[in-house]
Structure formats: C-alpha cells, structure tokens
Chains A and B, each alone.
Chain A
Amino acid sequence: MPSEQWTHPEPGDGPAAVAAQPSPEQVIAGLRATSEGGAELTQLLTPEGERVPSPQFDKYVDDIDAEALRGLYRDMVLVRRADREANAMQRQGQLGIWVPLLGQEAAQIGSGRALRANDMAFPSYREHGVAFARGVDMKDLLGIFRCTDHSGWDYQRHGFHPYTIVIGNQVLNAAGYAMGQKFEGKVGDDDGEATICYFGDGATSQGDVHEGFVWAAVYDAPLVFFCQNNQWAISEPTERQSRLPLYQRARGYGFPGIRVDGNDVLACLAVSRWALDECRHGNGPVLIEAFTYRMDAHTTTDDPTRYRLSDELEEWKLKDPIERVRAFLARGGGADQAFFDSVQEEADAFAADLREYTFNMPEPPPDRIFSNVYAEGNPVLESQREEFLSYLDGFASAGEH
C-alpha cells in the first residue's frame, strides 16, 4: 500500500521533517516517473541478464564477445570499488568531499569505452567512470577531492577536459570544441572526430545547456550530448526539471534524441557508438538520455533519506548495472567463478592502492597559490607572491632563534 511506503516523522523531528514527507500522490507519481524508462527505452541486456535483440543497435556491439564483455564488467567493478573506497575515505576525513557514482557505472563505462583516442570528453564532476575509461589515473582525480588540486591530468593526452563544477558550463565549452573539430575539417568520414559532453538531468534546466543545443545544432557540431538522467538533482526530482522526457527535447532543436537504459552497459556502448558515428560523419549533434539512477547521495554532504524513499532505491537495486552483466556472463558460460573472484581481488588491490596514495598525497607548497594564474607575467601578482613568501620566511627565521 502506498501509505506504508514512507516513514512517519519521529516525535521531535520538527516542522522541517514533516515538510520533507511527500504526499501519497507524489510518491506514486515519483515512482512511476523514476522507475520506468518507457516504451522507447533502448535496452540490450535486461536487469535479469537476458540479451534483447535490437535490429538497429546490435551491429554496434557485434565485436563485443565474452572477453570484451568481461572487460566491461571489470571496468565497472573497479570503478565502483574505487567509488566506494573514496566515499569511505571521505567519511574518515581523508577527502574534503566525494561525489558518488554508484549506480551510474554502465552509463559511464558504456559511453566512455565508445570513444576513440582523438575524441574529446567534457565531463561534469561525477564522471569518474568516464575518466577511468579515458585512462586518467584515479589518483590524479582524487587530488580534486582531497583539495590539493583543481585538476590533475593532462586533458589533451587523455581527451578528457577538466571537471566542471558550475552546472551546465561545460556544455557550451564542448559545443565550441566540437565546432573547432568541424572548422578544422575533422568531420565527414569513418575517421572523423567527435566530442561527447556529460551533464545531468538538473543541468537541462540551465540556460547554458539550451544554448549549447542551439549552437551545436546551427553549426552542425559533432557533439554527443550525454545526459545521465539519474532522477535527482540533489533533492529535486526530474519532474521539477521538465514536463516531458528529456530525450524528446532534442526534436525541438532539430537533432535526434534517444533514451537508453543507463544501467545497461551494452546498450550504452551501442547507442554511444551510433551517436558518435553520426557525429564523425557530419550528422551530429545527437542527444542521448541515459535513464539511470544515482544510488547514493548527490555528494557526501547530502542526505537522500530526507527527500526520497527507500522503496525507490530498493527497486533500482534490482536494475543494478553490474549484476546483470554478471548474470549474463555466468548463465552463458562467458565467465566462471574464478574470473569474478579475480576481478574482485583486483578491485580490492586497486582500492587499497588508492587509499595508500591518498593518505600520503603531497600537499602543494604555499606559493602554488600564485602559480599559473596567467600565462604571461603579472607584476602585481608577483609582488604579492614575494611579499607572502618573505612573510612566511619570517616565521621560519623566528623559529630558528
């Protein structure tokens, strides 16, 4: 019964706690909106691990044999394990904040593995799985969350732009980059380049995302908009962002939009390959809405129990992106227990390595504050730097006497 699906406030919780409880109608509407992707959801692997044929998309994953699928499984397990380790490290005070990706592994690994070396990805701030797929060392990424750095990888070498924290800004930056690919003539055949841009359902309410859609459309930019609709923008549900399914918005801008099961790594890979292929050949842009679920908090500062129901989470757990691949592999003989055990061992070692690195992460020297503000010299800044260093030196010499 719906009336049993939420907990009543405990005495002493106060008015705020009462206000946080949704009405029965909201609960029903919320569950309906968040648990079903609708008839147009592209899916190749069901939550039970059954392969569903797709006349349109099967050809994009023809090469994914058991070995390749084991690779995707491994990617997702490692990324999830790193995510859980980072989450735990934040709870232990070793990271300033963490942005969990739990539940979004398939969307990120599927799309990330669809990219080629020359492609460029513009992430938001939850794209740890895409970073992993682009070969970014997770240790470099953790500097952001331990607050020793703003971005620790070579964006050009990895084809992975710095994280962007202001919601939606990166969509315009990606549109500009993709326009550049077009202007340089790197579009038009199988060897064409493409750009992919990640953002969430909440970002679709931002003006920059709208403008990004307009720019990419009018300049025919080779840009795949990859919206991970994880149902919640902190505490605001998708219904607070849109009156129609997000993928349908693409039509208003004059390019294709598609909704894919974001918890199905095979479908995410296939649909991303298709969309990137469209872009490489000059038929972009394309909007992909990966219909998924953020199984943990927005960030470690958040408390999802205040705004959503445990039933919702339980329902989405049944759609877990890793478990369905595991079931498919096990049932079809694509992997045995020894394989699953070895991946788990590798993941544990991966996490332990991250932990050790994080605990010993060097802190930048104080004058790093002043470094690289400008490409060219700035005398005002230089004099501030000198004054500050000499101030610090004063303490050092005082200590010596």
Chain B
Amino acid sequence: MTDLQKLTIGKALNLGLRRAMEEDPKVLIMGEDVGKLGGVFRITDGLQKDFGEQRVLDTPLAESGIIGTAVGLAVRGFRPVCEIQFEGFIFPGFDQISSQLAKLHYRTQGKIKMPVVIRVPFGGGIGAVEHHSESPESLFAHIPGLKVVSISNAVDAYWGIQEAIKSDDPILFFEPKRLYHSGALRAEIDVAGTPQRMFSSQVVREGTTATVVAYGPSVKVALDAAAAAEDEGKSLEVIDLRTLSPLDLGPVFESVRKTGRLIALSEAPSESSLTSEIAARVQQECFYSLEAPVLRVTGFDTPYPPAKLEEHYLPDLDRVLHAIDRSLAW
C-alpha cells in the first residue's frame, strides 16, 4: 500500500511524529506549547487532540525540567520526544543533557537506556531577536554519549524523526527552522512506506570540480551555489552530512579523493566547531589527494548579530563560490 503525499519539512515532521506515536504507546511528546498551540512552529499540530494530554505534555516553562523529567520517564520505559522552542533556550537544559542524558548508559554499563529525542529548531534567517537564530550543534557533538543529527529536507524529516525515536540512544535532532514551511522544499513521500535509515551522510549532488559538505539549512545554500557554479562551468559535489555525531565522513573522504578540494559549510562560528573537525579529519585521511587546503565557510566567531545584519553573517552562495575560487586558485 502506498500513500504519496507532497510535504514540507514541517508537515513531514508532524506526520513522522504521528506515525511514531501510533506505532508505540510509550512515545511521549513534551515541551512548552506543544499541545493546544501545536508548538510555536506548529510542528506538533493536532497531536494532543488525537493522543491526549498524557501523551502530548504541555509542560511548565523550564528546559532543565523538560529534559530532566524526560530522563526519568526514559528510566521508567517511556520514549520521550522533547521540543526545545528555539536553540538559544536549550542552555538551562544543558546540565541535564550533558550530566545525565548522555552518561546514564555508560555509567550503568548499559543497564539504563536513554531513548530520548530532543528536537531543536536551529539556525538563522528568520529575522528574529536575540537567542532565536543560533547554531550550537557543535557543543552537543562534543559530548560523548549523545548522537546529533540534522535534517535538510522533508524526506529525511519524515523518516529521520521516526528513526531517532526508535533509537535507544539519546539524540539531539536539529531542524532547520527557516525551511520548515518552504514550499520549494516540498517532497513527495510515501508516508505508508517502509522506514528508511538516514543516519549516514549522503551525496545529494554529484560533481567533479570541488566538494562542498554541509548540513541542515546550509545544504540548500550549497545546492544553490552548485547550481550557480554550473553556469560558470564548475561542477560541485554536495554532501549532506545528516549525522553530526558520530560523523560519517566516509563519503566525504571518497569525494575529496575524486575532486581534490573541500569546502566545509556551516552557519555556526568556526572556532572549535564541526567544520574544524571535518577539516582535521580530511587532512588526516586525504592528505595526498588534496589539491588545496580545506577551506571553511561559516558564521563569524561572534555572537549572532542583530537580524538586520544576518544577511552578512550567514554564509550565502556567493561566499561559497568565493571559497571555490580560492580553492581553485591554489
């Protein structure tokens, strides 16, 4: 049986959550405003109406409380899916994430499993006030015991959220908030289909001149850059990382061996970030294949600026093309 639907990322997440809740009564959704309001981005729209207040919990307003109680619910055998409203508000919960969620499995040598998903809308480009546009994913990728993933399209949103919920490991699930409702990113999905695995990186556009690796909202920027580069006669290979911890760099190494050049793209500040890690690992594995140093196109090492400046802060396709030119000039 097939049920083809054309979905935005936001709607795909909603349907993915719905299917996970139907399949497993232990799945709970919890967070601020996730019930009646359907979340500030409406990702959980309609779920409380259909599954009740005990499966979709409108929680008190405290992130440590959301994550700390999710840890206890997981000890009890539930599979909580926490929503953090905006990435800049996750830090009150950082203690519970790093001290308990990430470590209980290790601390008990596997006796306690932590099947908790924390959904985090992240990234800029929505013209928001402070704390609503950040990219803190590298901080979580640095914590052993956590898995960190990011989606860039509706297909991965639908299957990825289900796979994350089924996982027995705690997962930080980063969602590109400015693309939630993008009509251009609608994709046709067989929502009754067989679950797909997504926690591996994937070549989303093949090319030969240089490789661009990106994740989350930056994948679209990379693809736009690749389309523009084609007009200039350059062929960019684009890789969507999808899994940020553990990093699946196999396809990146393979691509770099083919193109000889790598641009690592992210909105996050560059210092001590995922793009730093990618650059380090690629030079270690592909040293003799590189025609130029790995270059990075990122946000700046500043706090996220007032939104009137974000068009300058956020890497756009021109900055990617500029980096390609620098790489080729080497």
Contacts and interface: CB of A to CB of B under 8 A. Distances in A.
B169 A176 contact: no
Interface string B106-129: 111111111000000000000000
B81 to A, nearest CB: 14
A150 B102 CA distance: 14
Residue among B68, B92, B109 with the highest chain A CB neighbour number at 10 A: B68
Contact of A375 (B59, B71, B110, B247): B110
Interface string B66-110: 011111111111100000000000001001100110001111111
Contacts of B106: 150, 372-373
A300 interface: no
B60 interface: yes
Contacts of B54: 183
A211 B246 contact: no
B144 A179 contact: no
A225 to B, nearest CB: 14
A207 to B, nearest CB: 6
B108 A162 contact: yes
A172 interface: yes
A155 B111 contact: yes
Interface residues of B, number: 43
A130 interface: no
A379 interface: yes
B60 A180 contact: no
Contacts of A176: 68-76
Nearest to A180: B76
A378 B247 CA distance: 9
Contact of B246 (A154, A166, A178, A380): A380
A173 B246 CA distance: 26
Given A172-B68, A175-B69, A214-B60, A380 B247 contact: yes
B68 to A, nearest CB: 3
A169 B108 contact: no
Contact of A172 (B69, B107, B108): B69
Contacts of B104: 162
A161 B65 contact: no
A285 interface: no
Contact of B68 (A161, A173, A381): A173
B145 interface: yes
Contacts of A65: none
A374 B92 CA distance: 24
Contacts of A150: 106-108
A381 B68 CA distance: 27
Contact of B72 (A155, A173, A184, A378): A173
A122 B113 CA distance: 16
B105 A169 contact: no
Nearest to B281: A380
Interface residues of A, dominant DSSP = helix
Contacts of B73: 176-177, 179-180
Nearest to B103: A150
Contact of B65 (A215, A374, A380): A215
A43 interface: no
Given A162-B108, A375-B105, A375-B113, A175 B144 contact: no
B107 to A, nearest CB: 4
Interface string A214-238: 1100100000000000000000000
A173 B75 contact: yes
A172 B246 contact: no
B96 A374 contact: no
Interface string A369-401: 001111110111100000000000000000000
A342 interface: no
B64 interface: yes
A375 B108 CA distance: 11
Contact of B100 (A169, A181, A218, A372): A169
Interface in B262-308: none
A373 B76 contact: no
A154 B111 contact: yes
Interface in A250-274: none
Interface string B229-265: 0000000000000000011100000000000000000
A372 B110 contact: yes
B310 interface: no
B95 A174 contact: no
A34 interface: no
Contacts of B99: 166, 169
B60 A215 contact: yes
Contacts of B60: 211, 214-215, 218
A212 interface: yes
A101 B104 CA distance: 24
B203 interface: no
A208 interface: yes
A184 B95 CA distance: 28
Contacts of A166: 95, 99-100
B327 interface: no
B62 A211 contact: yes
A124 to B, nearest CB: 13
Contacts of B69: 172-173, 175-176, 179, 215
27 contacts: A151-B107, A155-B108, A162-B108, A162-B112, A169-B68, A172-B71, A172-B96, A173-B72, A176-B74, A180-B75, A183-B78, A207-B64, A212-B65, A215-B60, A371-B110, A372-B105, A372-B106, A372-B109, A372-B110, A373-B106, A373-B144, A374-B105, A374-B169, A375-B110, A375-B168, A378-B246, A381-B246
Given A175-B72, A176-B73, 19 more contacts: A151-B108, A172-B64, A175-B69, A176-B72, A176-B75, A178-B72, A180-B72, A180-B73, A180-B78, A207-B92, A208-B68, A208-B96, A211-B60, A215-B69, A373-B105, A374-B105, A374-B147, A375-B113, A375-B169
**Across the A-B interface, the 5 shortest Cβ-Cβ residue pairs:** A176-B72, A172-B68, A180-B76, A176-B69, A375-B168
